[in-house]
Amino acid sequence: MLDDTARRKLVEVKNLKMHFPIYSGVLRSRTGEVKAVDDISFDVFEGETLGLVGESGCGKSTCGRAVLRLYDITEGTVTIDGIEIGTMDQQTLRGYRPMMQMVFQDPQASLNPRMTVARIISEPLEEHTDLSDVDKLARVHELMDAVGLNRDFANRYPHEFSGGQRQRIGIARALALNPKFIVCDEPIAALDVSIQAQVVNLLEELQDKLGLTYLFISHDLSMVRHIADRVAVMYLGKVVELAPRDALYATPKHPYTEALLSAVPDPDPSVENRKERVILTGDVPSPSNPPQGCNFCTRCPKVMEICKTVDPTTVELAPGHFTACHLYTQTTTMTADNTVAQEAQKSDQQGE
Amino acid sequence: MTDATLSREKPRNQWLDVWDQFRSHGGAFWGAIFFLLVILSVLLGPLIYPHDPTLVPTGRDFIRLKDMRPIYTALWDSGAKVSWAHPLGTDQIGRDTLARMLSGGQVSIAVGLAAMALSLFLGTLVGVTAGYFKRLDGILMRLTDLFLALPLLPLILVAVLLFREVLSATFGPEGGIFVLIVVLIGFTSWMQTARIVRGDVLALKEREFILAARSIGTPNRRMILRHILPNVLSPIMVSATLGIAQAIITESALSFLGFGFPPDFPTWGRLLFDAIDRMVLYPERVLWPGLAISFTVLSVNYIGDGLRDALDPRIRGR
């Protein structure tokens, strides 16, 4: 277990909500909202990597963008390095941009096709520093070295690079201002597997060298297992489980996490064949009309009556291991064998 | 994409790449040369060429000089009234056609470029503002629709009637009508550009590199100048070249209808208008101004085509 008290919280997200309004009808009146991120809280400690996983459409990317205030958040607070940025106006926020940066999912789309690599990487420098052209170029070259790009490529355009190289350009741009916190929004999803490893290793290497803190958004559970220190699992706009990596992968508490983990393929065919998969039925409900009670109640294999009416609160089952599930709300201490506990609790609640 | 992002290892100006690509585009290159030649000849020609485009000969000269045929007519008609002094002949009141073409070209091209610049500026401004700032989108695009719905030619004719006097008093008869025509054409032809640019900006705004720039903290002004405008350059270039053509043609149409410049003031459109009555007898009088308009417009279109390709780094170097 991580020793939480000794480490400083770099990022604190509390009750973050990001709702996108839906306008419809002749008068374009507001008829509802997409609850992309609905009341989530988590902390990221300095120097760690928090993995954020979940299936597509569950609000991972929105969450990452909302944390960096690329959207105007609906509710909640985001504190980065002791500075509350959740309600700050964009003009004031601009001054704090250097400490938080983002690496994007699609390395092709995240680079301006009309700018050379040197200009792309130096854009943050132009915006936030008064460096002379010579110093800027020197810094660009330094960054290109850091991410493993040949300096001679400085005058080329993004379309002349491979996906992995483009992602390196994106990383170099994110590093330009020596940020403390980087949101990696599925940085490896658009790359093929051999390149994924390179990019992830580069990210880890840079973290060691520069003491970076990552919020690593991904749907690739094995990659998250490789890079993250702690993992948050999202489902339909909510964090259903947040735990240190080893604890999460060894003893997943939330039924959704169990299902997700059981879907990870194993390279060993004998293990793969014997593996019991938790197959979820049905689709993810619409985030504009989430089910009453627990968001997962429509697909949960262990659903109970209470799940359909009451939204579960987040409980800490073990130090640093949080989950939001009714299976655990009554007894906060859990035995190691969680299936027994679940069964026990189920009958408990059915008896009520 | 203008300033010096030069690597010490490879000090290469990006405009050199643009120029290289532009040169390799055959049509654009020859179009540019032709357009330059036209501009040079209409600028320098009247200085060299001895005849005054507005001078009407008097007395016996009038009879002698009027209705002269172009010099090449002598090739098939030995009795034709030709003179080496007037290679393209003269009109029905003895003014030299070549002199009128040259000074008419000055005005037509000046009107084309100025009106294009104005309409491009307006169109890009409205398009980018409407596409980028959601709040202004509705009102600006309804304004665009409003302008599109106006019947332009009648509007211009009425405006010429209303404002000709006032502007002539301020800028002089030719200057006044020049300003009037440029402003009228500019203000009535920006809508297509605005619509195309708005559409492109809307699509561009959702791209991740805009989000990346926002995460860097790039303010709106520089976001537009650095990220939006260079990427909507292609449709703007196309609109620009079509705009020059359109402006020259509109000016010609106005002059042709007799609502443009004063009657003795030559423009390519006015030459066509004057020649239309006796087109069958003297086909050269419509042929040469017509060809001048067509080829100038065509060359400008080729230039725009080549420039658009040259400015796009993805096409460049192919």
Cβ–Cβ below 8 Å for B215 and A122: no
Interface size, chain A vs chain B, as Cβ–Cβ contacts under 8 Å: 98
Residue A316 lies in a domain: no
What CATH number did the domain enclosing A44 receive? Answer: 3.40.50.300
> Which position has the higher pLDDT, A321 or A350?
A321
Q: Does A113 contact chain B (CB < 8 Å)?
A: yes
Shortest Cα distance from B7 to chain A (angstroms)?
A: 7
Is residue A102 pLDDT above 60, yes or no? yes
What total number of domains does chain A contain? 1
Q: How confident is the model at residue B201 (pLDDT cuts 50, 70, 90)?
A: very high
**Span A16-29, pLDDT tens digits:** 988 888 888 777 88
Angle A50-A51-A54 from CA coordinates, rounded to 5°:
145
Q: How confident is the model at residue B126 (pLDDT cuts 50, 70, 90)?
A: very high
pLDDT value of residue A333: 42
Domain ranges of chain B: 14-49+93-311
Radius of gyration of chain A (CA): 22
Q: Which of A112, A157, A160 to mutate to test the interface with B (most CBs of B within 10 A)?
A: A112
**Span B9-47, pLDDT tens digits:** 444 567 777 788 888 888 888 999 999 999 999 888 888
User: In this structure, are residues A40 and A13 in contact, taking their beta carbons and an 8 Å threshold?
Assistant: yes
Residue of B nearest to A101 (CA): B215
Q: Given the structure tokens 């069958």, which residue do they identify? A: B280
Task: Determine whether B48 is exposed, middle or buried from the number of CB atoms within 10 Å of its CB (0-12, 13-18, 19+).
Answer: exposed
**CA–CA gap between residue B81 and residue B66 (Å, rounded):** 9
Chain centroid to Cα A238, Å, comes to 12
pLDDT value of residue A332: 43
Per cent of chain A over pLDDT 70 is 92
Q: Does A271 contact chain B (CB < 8 Å)?
A: no
- φ/ψ (deg, to 5) at B60: -70, -30
Residue A306 lies in a domain: no
Cβ–Cβ below 8 Å for B217 and A97: yes
**CA–CA gap between residue B103 and residue B266 (Å, rounded):** 7
Residue A346 lies in a domain: no
**H/E element, A184:** strand A181-185
Work out the mean pLDDT of chain A and round it to a whole number. 84
Residues of B within an 8 Å Cβ radius of A: 1, 4-10, 12, 14, 207-209, 211-219, 222, 226-227, 230-231, 233, 312-314
**Span A203-242, pLDDT tens digits:** 999 999 988 999 999 988 888 998 999 999 999 888 999 9
pLDDT value of residue A6: 59
Q: Report which listed range, A243-252, A325-334, B248-257, is most confident.
A: A243-252
Residue A10 lies in a domain: yes
Residue of A nearest to B234 (CA): A114
Q: What number does CATH give the domain B14-49+93-311?
A: 1.10.3720.10
pLDDT value of residue A231: 92
Per cent of chain A over pLDDT 90 is 10
Beta bridge partners of A322: A242, A316
Residue A323 lies in a domain: no
- The half-sphere exposure of B313 on its side-chain side, counting CA atoms within 13 A, is 19
> Which position has the higher pLDDT, B152 or A153?
A153
What average pLDDT score do residues B124-146 get?
91
**Span B97-122, pLDDT tens digits:** 888 888 888 888 888 889 989 999 99
Token code pair at residue A76? 């909640």
Per cent of chain B over pLDDT 90 is 13
Residue A252 lies in a domain: yes
3-state secondary structure of B79: coil
Q: Given the structure tokens 């599930």, which residue do they identify? A: A325
Residue A322 lies in a domain: no
Work out the mean pLDDT of chain B and round it to a whole number. 82
**Of the candidates A298, A299, A294, A289, the residue with the CA atom closest to the CA atom of residue A328:** A294
Q: Does A65 contact chain B (CB < 8 Å)?
A: yes
ipTM, 2 dp:
0.80
Beta bridge partners of A235: A238
What average pLDDT score do residues B153-169 get?
83
Q: Which of B1, B7, B224 to mutate to test the interface with A (most CBs of A within 10 A)?
A: B7
Q: Does A109 contact chain B (CB < 8 Å)?
A: yes
User: How far are the Cα atoms of A89, A327, B179 from residue B239, in angstroms, in the given order?
Assistant: 38, 64, 22
User: How far are the Cα atoms of A67, B137, B216, B231 from residue B223, in angstroms, in the given order?
Assistant: 21, 18, 11, 11
pLDDT value of residue B36: 92
> Which position has the higher pLDDT, A317 or A339?
A317
Cβ–Cβ below 8 Å for A104 and B208: yes
Task: Determine whether A192 is exposed, middle or buried from the number of CB atoms within 10 Å of its CB (0-12, 13-18, 19+).
Answer: exposed
Q: How confident is the model at residue A244 (pLDDT cuts 50, 70, 90)?
A: very high
Is residue A336 pLDDT above 50, yes or no? no
Q: How confident is the model at residue A283 (pLDDT cuts 50, 70, 90)?
A: confident
**CA–CA gap between residue A84 and residue A9 (Å, rounded):** 13
User: In this structure, are residues A228 and A247 in contact, taking their beta carbons and an 8 Å threshold?
Assistant: no
According to DSSP, the β-strands at A213-218 and A49-53 are parallel
Is residue A111 pLDDT above 70, yes or no? yes
pLDDT value of residue B277: 81
Token code pair at residue B190? 């920006």
pLDDT value of residue B37: 92
Q: Does A62 contact chain B (CB < 8 Å)?
A: no
Cβ-nearest to B9 among A100, A101, A151: A151
**CA–CA gap between residue A314 and residue A24 (Å, rounded):** 35
**Residues spanned by the domain of A153:** 4-293
Cβ–Cβ below 8 Å for A112 and B227: yes
Cβ–Cβ below 8 Å for B313 and A114: yes
